Copies of this chain bind each other. A is one copy, B any other.
Amino acid sequence: MAERENLAPLLRVLAGERVDPPPVWIMRQAGRYLPEYRELRTRAKSFLDFCYSPALATEAVMQPLRRFPLDAAILFSDILVVPDALGREVRFVEGEGPRLKPLIEEDGPWRFGDIERGLQRLSPVYETVERIKRALAPEVALIGFCGAPWTVATYMLQGEGGDKDRARRAVYQRPDDVDALLGVLVEMNAQHLAKQVQAGADCLQIFESWAEGLPPAMFQRVVIGPTRKLIDRLRELGVTVPVIGFPRGAGAQLAAYAQQTDVTALGVDTQTPADFVIEHAPEGMPLQGNLDPQTLVAGGEALDRAARDVLIAFKRVPHIFNLGHGITPEAAPENLARLVKVVKGQA
């Protein structure tokens, strides 16, 4: 217990404790809504160059912490550094999002680069984690992350985001090839996360940004199965830190995800009622979320009311306050300052 009292509040919650007021961090807290980030971003030619620069990425992580008393920092990187490291030509098109060479347009067997060499290409990411860790106050937890196998596979299969129709179709048409792809991503992401923890990450988050729209049998096959394997593999690699799973858009299937993947904690998206998650997640599982990001654009009374609704809804469980999705570029930094005050009971 003495040990736990020295833990950062966010890590206490992840250990199953209710902390009042709850720790708070914000998905995409380092990002385009901050003018100082937009300035910093101009110093690298491409978004991936930015992610692979330990100096720039570390500075991006520290920017919001100078403005707001947040309880966690998250590595600045992208879930698509993994396909990039596997040799799949990732580009970020300004205002449109990422573009990859779509696997579904390749007839032959799908081939990927070597995992060992991929991890070497990602060494600047681990150096970034080390730098952030040195810069952080001990009460601020450092979160490492990756994309869940299905979400990363979706980008690789169809070459872009948008609707996931073509990725789902590939599961029907080439199930064995998709399983093999998911297997590669399980292994690569497990090693990628393990290296982040070796470099100093206190806990991890797996972003399943595209858990939506999947029939139950497919959700089992591409979301629950590979996520479970990823966590099993992490534990095999000796990683013991807590893992937050965030299957955005899982809807009613969030229940199965919470019960079957072995995640430590659950990220809850904007639309999912707290009562539903509390009822269906394993007893005492820490929950993270789930304020609507648009309240940080609107501000005012609407923000205060919505934030208090979230606080009340999750009051009886171990809770990490966050949004239900990333903060948007249109959000006003002063609204985030206000939000943190409301969460901390100072407004």
Contacts and interface: CB of A to CB of B under 8 A. Distances in A.
Interface of A: 165, 168-169, 172-173, 175, 212-219, 249-256, 269-273, 276, 290-295, 297-298, 302-303, 306, 309, 324, 328
Nearest to A251: B251
Given A251-B252, A252-B276, A215 B168 contact: no
A309 B217 CA distance: 9
Q: Which 7 A-B pairs have the closest CB atoms?
A: A251-B251, A172-B298, A172-B302, A252-B276, A169-B294, A216-B273, A168-B294
Contacts of A276: 252, 255
A16 B292 CA distance: 38
A60 B5 CA distance: 69
A173 B332 CA distance: 14
Oligomer copy total: 2
Contact of A219 (B269, B271, B298, B309): B271
A122 B271 CA distance: 35
Contacts of A217: 306, 309
A303 to B, nearest CB: 8
Nearest to A292: B215
A271 B213 contact: yes
A212 B214 CA distance: 14
Given A212-B212, A215-B292, A217-B306, A271 B297 contact: no
Given A168-B292, A215-B306, A272 B298 contact: no
Contacts of A254: 251-252
A293 B175 CA distance: 17
Contacts of A251: 249-252, 254, 271-272
Given A249-B249, A252-B273, 11 more contacts: A165-B293, A168-B292, A168-B294, A172-B298, A215-B309, A216-B271, A250-B251, A250-B271, A251-B254, A252-B252, A255-B276
Nearest to A166: B294
A327 to B, nearest CB: 12
Contacts of A255: 276
Contacts of A298: 169, 172-173
Contacts of A169: 294, 297-298
A306 B173 CA distance: 13
Nearest to A328: B165
A326 to B, nearest CB: 11
A215 B270 contact: yes
A250 B213 CA distance: 11
A255 B297 CA distance: 30
B249 A212 contact: yes
Contacts of A214: 270-271
22 contacts: A165-B294, A168-B292, A169-B294, A169-B297, A169-B298, A172-B297, A172-B298, A172-B302, A212-B212, A214-B270, A214-B271, A215-B270, A215-B324, A217-B309, A218-B292, A250-B251, A251-B251, A251-B252, A251-B254, A252-B273, A252-B276, A255-B276
A254 B252 CA distance: 9
Contacts of A273: 216, 252-253, 256
B272 A252 contact: yes
